[in-house]
């Protein structure tokens, strides 16, 4: 669930960044929260055991180490509450999850010198209150409980503009609150096996705000004289002196409030994280040195940050434009064999990604830039990646054509249809239409018991899936594969098997022979895909 929260935040980071409406950027909310969560996830590798409590403590420790900006620091305090409430627990249930949210809320409010409603604090408080109430109800599953908690978070998030005039003026919800709800949605997706949700930028746009009001708001953003404190200052105090007490840390916090704002001083006698906006970062550092040693010092000029944020991007030089080649192709896939196939089909960059491991917008944007081409064709090869690819297209300085491929066989068909002699428009049309008559299926194992499409499936059963439905079930991989092919073959003339990491070359060859014997008029081919989780990805055309 934690990994799902990390992935959801990474995937939606650019959209959450766009919600940042305050005059001082202080980094970007989505990016800061994502980096905080990534650091937290990395720390779980050092957890002494796989117990829930041990994982929660390690996750919280990593969040504090990697906390960036106000949003990241507050998020780390919410996670600290989880760690305290989950410590020594061996399982997660409705009762201790609700207690974790409540404890996280208390610590997060306590960490902020002047708590403000309409922010991430409000969202976590309402979710905690809802969780506490729902935990007392009997007859509901944990999944149902978590869905209701997230629903309450989304509802209060939509009301944040009523609490903060600056949000109402810009026509957006609070970015930190959106980030927290996104994390919870990612956790829910991981818990239930669903797809990680992707935020629609259009739904977060200030549709109700007129263009004149938007211009007025932006002009206020450019009023640099209204920025009272210019330097965002962050650092850790480590190896605190043995004479330092909690009272000394409180006095240190009070002093920082006299030289700046947005003060956050969190931690304990082992490690203290400091965040302050001030015009005198040297005074903040000097005060901290009285307590212990300094580490990971970061001082950023927020006025300069803002100038860069609102300034127009410098036009690309004519020389850089001339150095670009005409065409480039980016294929998103998973498995060494799949990467090799796309490379053979002239893909300049193969970016790792697929089900449960979607690349971020900036991963795709970097891949587009790496092609060094004027017109770049992107093959998402997964329905959950298409939107991220579309967002990368909007950020790119070159012409990007996102071909809406939803699986790797569709991407292969599109890559085959590409012609270096055709115009960009001709290529886009040919590549998009190339997989219209393609039927695909996958053979994998069930991760939980379910009933679907007339099949009763137990966890561990080998199943065939096509068009998001179970179409076959078998006791063995070969049996399920034969049944899956029978369900999707129809009037196909060619059948292609891409065998995964858990299938040997000999097993794939034997399966091809069986299919050739059963369908003598069919052209059958097998290629190494190397994809995880899926024994075979099947393409019929």
pLDDT in tens, 252-273: 988 998 998 778 787 778 888 8
- Say if residue 210's pLDDT is above 50: no
CB 104 within 8 A of CB 111: no
Distance between CA 351 and CA 446 in Å, rounded? 27
- Range picked from 19-28, 95-104, 231-240 for highest mean pLDDT: 95-104
What are 105-163's pLDDT values in tens digits? 998 888 776 778 889 999 999 999 999 999 988 889 999 999 999 999 999 999 988 88
pLDDT band at 204 (very low <50, low <70, confident <90, very high): low
pLDDT band at 16 (very low <50, low <70, confident <90, very high): confident
Q: Which residues pair with 497 in a beta bridge?
A: 526, 538
Closest CA to 177 of 200, 152, 198, 154: 154
What would the DSSP string read from start to end of 406-452? -SHHHHHHHHHH--TTS-HHHHHHHHHHTTTT-EEEEEEE-SS-EEE
Which two three-digit tokens encode residue 156?
């209060």
- Say if residue 437's pLDDT is above 60: yes
For position 113, what pLDDT does the model report? 67
CB 18 within 8 A of CB 361: no
For position 323, what pLDDT does the model report? 77
CB under 8 Å, gap of 24 or more: what pairs does 222-229 form?
222/306, 222/310, 223/23, 224/303, 224/306, 224/307, 226/23, 227/23, 227/24, 227/302, 227/303, 227/306, 228/261, 228/277, 229/260, 229/261, 229/262, 229/277, 229/278, 229/279, 229/302
CATH architecture for the domain at 2-221:
Alpha Horseshoe (1.25)
pLDDT band at 321 (very low <50, low <70, confident <90, very high): low
- Say if residue 308's pLDDT is above 70: no
Distance between CA 522 and CA 307 in Å, rounded? 63
Measured torsion, CA atoms of residues 386, 371, 342, 395, in degrees rounded to the nearest 10: 0
| Owner of token pair 């697929």 | 354
For position 411, what pLDDT does the model report? 96
For position 212, what pLDDT does the model report? 37
Tell me yes or no: is domain 318-433 CATH 3.90.1150.10: no
- Pairing, β 450-452 against β 439-445: unpaired
**How far, rounded to the nearest angstrom, does the alpha carbon of residue 224 sit from its chain's CA centroid?**
33
Q: Which residues pair with 237 in a beta bridge?
A: 272, 294
Collapsing DSSP to helix, strand or coil, 404 comes out as coil
Q: Tell me the residue ranges of DSSP E strands in 27-115.
A: none
What is the domain class of 439-540 according to CATH? alpha beta
Distance between CA 335 and CA 339 in Å, rounded? 6
Closest CA to 271 of 108, 49, 63, 88: 63
Q: Is the fold of 2-221 the same as that of 318-433?
A: no
Q: Which residues pair with 466 in a beta bridge?
A: 469
For position 433, what pLDDT does the model report? 96
- Range picked from 111-115, 207-211, 248-252, 372-376 for highest mean pLDDT: 372-376
Higher-pLDDT residue of 385 and 481 is 481
- Say if residue 480's pLDDT is above 60: yes
For position 31, what pLDDT does the model report? 84
Which two three-digit tokens encode residue 144?
């149902």
- Exposure string of 9-24, with b = 16+ CB inside 10 Å and e = fewer, is bbbbbbbbbbbbbebb
Mean pLDDT over all residues of the chain? 85
pLDDT band at 416 (very low <50, low <70, confident <90, very high): very high
- Say if residue 318's pLDDT is above 80: no
- Say if residue 75's pLDDT is above 70: yes
Distance between CA 454 and CA 541 in Å, rounded? 26
Higher-pLDDT residue of 195 and 348 is 348
| Residue 333 C-beta-side C-alpha neighbours within 13 Å | 31
Which two three-digit tokens encode residue 260?
């700046």
For position 222, what pLDDT does the model report? 36
Average the pLDDT over 474-498 and give the result.
93
Higher-pLDDT residue of 317 and 341 is 341
CB 309 within 8 A of CB 25: yes
- Pairing, β 325-333 against β 373-379: parallel
Q: How far is CA 516 from CA 459, 483, 487, 496, in A?
A: 31, 14, 16, 11
67: left (phi over 0), alpha (psi -120 to 50) or beta: beta
Higher-pLDDT residue of 359 and 377 is 377
CATH architecture for the domain at 226-309:
2-Layer Sandwich (3.30)
Single pTM value for the model:
0.48
Domain range annotation of the chain: 2-221, 226-309, 318-433, 439-540
For position 161, what pLDDT does the model report? 87
pLDDT band at 219 (very low <50, low <70, confident <90, very high): very low
For position 354, what pLDDT does the model report? 67
For position 315, what pLDDT does the model report? 45
Give the phi and the psi of residue 216 in degrees, each rounded to 5: -65, -40
- Pairing, β 373-379 against β 399-402: parallel
Average the pLDDT over 314-325 and give the result.
59
Distance between CA 55 and CA 488 in Å, rounded? 43
Distance between CA 125 and CA 478 in Å, rounded? 52
Sheet of 325-333: strand order equals: 349-352, 325-333, 373-379, 399-402
CB 457 within 8 A of CB 463: yes
Distance between CA 71 and CA 183 in Å, rounded? 13
pLDDT band at 201 (very low <50, low <70, confident <90, very high): low
Average the pLDDT over 30-43 and give the result.
89
| Lowest-confidence pick of 86-100, 188-202, 363-377, 406-420 | 188-202
For position 221, what pLDDT does the model report? 36
- Say if residue 425's pLDDT is above 90: yes
Distance between CA 202 and CA 214 in Å, rounded? 16
Share of the chain above pLDDT 70, in %: 88
Closest CA to 185 of 174, 197, 175: 197
For position 305, what pLDDT does the model report? 63
Q: What's the maximum distance between 2 C-alpha atoms anywhere in the chain?
A: 85
Average the pLDDT over 39-53 and give the result.
89
pLDDT band at 322 (very low <50, low <70, confident <90, very high): low
Average the pLDDT over 221-240 and give the result.
71
CB 377 within 8 A of CB 428: yes
For position 312, what pLDDT does the model report? 40
For position 232, what pLDDT does the model report? 85
């Amino acid at each position: 669930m934690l990994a799902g929260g990390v992935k959801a935040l990474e995937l939606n980071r650019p959209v959450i960044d766009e919600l940042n409406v305050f005059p001082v950027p202080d980094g970007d909310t989505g990016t800061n929260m994502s980096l905080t969560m990534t650091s937290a996830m990395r720390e779980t590798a050092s957890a002494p055991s796989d117990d829930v409590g041990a994982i929660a403590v390690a996750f919280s420790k990593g969040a504090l180490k990697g906390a960036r900006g106000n949003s990241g620091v507050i998020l780390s305090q919410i996670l600290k509450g989880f760690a305290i409430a989950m410590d020594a627990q061996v399982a997660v249930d409705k009762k201790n999850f609700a207690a974790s949210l409540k404890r996280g809320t208390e610590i997060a409010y306590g960490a902020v010198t002047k708590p403000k409603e309409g922010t991430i604090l409000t969202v976590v408080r309402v979710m905690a209150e809802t969780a506490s109430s729902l935990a007392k109800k009997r007859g509901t599953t944990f999944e149902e409980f978590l869905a209701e908690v997230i629903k309450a978070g989304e509802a209060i998030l939509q009301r944040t503009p009523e609490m903060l005039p600056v949000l109402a003026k810009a026509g957006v919800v609070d970015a930190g609150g959106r980030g927290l709800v996104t994390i919870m949605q990612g956790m829910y997706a991981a818990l239930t096996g669903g797809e990680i949700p992707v935020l629609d930028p259009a739904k977060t746009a200030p549709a109700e705000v007129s263009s004149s009001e938007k211009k007025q708001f932006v002009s206020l953003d450019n009023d640099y004289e209204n920025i009272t404190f210019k330097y965002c200052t962050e650092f850790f105090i480590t190896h605190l002196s043995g004479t330092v007490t909690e009272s000394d840390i409180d006095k240190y916090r009070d002093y920082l409030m006299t030289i700046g704002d947005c003060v956050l001083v969190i931690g304990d006698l082992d490690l203290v994280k400091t965040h302050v906006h001030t015009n005198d970062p040297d005074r903040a550092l000097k005060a901290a040195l009285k307590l212990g040693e300094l580490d990971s010092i970061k001082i950023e000029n927020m006025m300069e940050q803002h100038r860069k944020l609102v300034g127009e991007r410098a036009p690309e030089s004519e020389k850089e434009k001339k150095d670009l080649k005409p065409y480039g192709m980016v294929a998103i896939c998973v498995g060494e064999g799949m990467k090799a196939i796309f490379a053979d089909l002239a893909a300049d960059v193969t970016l790792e990604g697929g089900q449960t491991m979607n690349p971020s917008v900036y991963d795709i944007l970097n891949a587009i830039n790496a092609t060094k081409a004027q017109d770049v064709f992107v093959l998402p090869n997964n329905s959950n990646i298409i939107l991220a690819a579309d967002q990368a297209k909007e950020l790119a300085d070159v012409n990007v054509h996102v071909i809406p491929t939803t699986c790797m066989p569709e991407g292969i068909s599109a890559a085959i249809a590409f012609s270096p002699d055709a115009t960009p428009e001709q290529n886009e049309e040919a590549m998009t239409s190339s997989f219209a008559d393609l039927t695909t299926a996958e053979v994998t194992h069930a991760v939980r018991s379910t009933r679907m499409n007339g099949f009763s499936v137990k966890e561990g059963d080998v199943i065939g899936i096509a068009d998001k439905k179970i179409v076959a079930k078998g006791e063995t991989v070969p049996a399920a594969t034969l049944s899956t092919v029978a369900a999707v073959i129809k009037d196909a003339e060619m059948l292609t098997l891409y065998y995964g990491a858990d299938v040997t070359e000999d097993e794939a060859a034997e399966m091809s022979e069986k299919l050739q014997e059963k369908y003598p008029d069919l052209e059958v081919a097998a290629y190494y895909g190397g994809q995880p989780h899926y024994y075979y990805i099947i393409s019929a055309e």
